[in-house]
Homo-oligomer: A and B are copies of this chain.
Amino acid sequence: MTAPLSLADLNACPASVFAAQLADVFEHAPWVAAQAAAQRPFATADALHTAMLAIVGALPEDARVAVFCGHPELAGPAARTGAMTPDSIREQGALALDRLPHEEEAWWDRLNAAYRTRFGFPFILCARHYTVAAMRQVFAQRLGNSREAEIAATLREIGLITRYRLAARIADHGLADLEGRLTTHVLDTSRGQPAQGLRLALHQVDSALPCSTGAALIETVTDSHGQTGAPLISGQPLRIGRYELRFHVGDYFRSIGAVDGPWPFLDVVPIVFSIDEPTGDYHVPLTITPWAYATYRGQ
A-to-B contact residues, CB < 8 Å? 134, 137-138, 141, 187, 189-194, 209-213, 225-226, 240-242, 244, 246, 261-270, 272-276, 287, 289-299
Contacts and interface: CB of A to CB of B under 8 A. Distances in A.
Given A137-B263, A211-B270, 13 more contacts: A137-B262, A189-B296, A192-B265, A192-B290, A192-B296, A209-B213, A210-B269, A242-B263, A261-B276, A263-B274, A265-B274, A267-B274, A293-B295
A297 B267 contact: no
A263 B268 CA distance: 24
One complex includes copies of this chain to the number of 4
Contact of A299 (B193, B210, B272): B193
A150 B264 CA distance: 23
A259 B260 CA distance: 22
Nearest to A138: B262
Contacts of A290: 190, 192
B298 A187 contact: yes
Contacts of A244: 210
Given A189-B296, A209-B211, A267 B291 contact: no
A200 to B, nearest CB: 12
Contacts of A242: 263, 267
Contacts of A266: 273-274
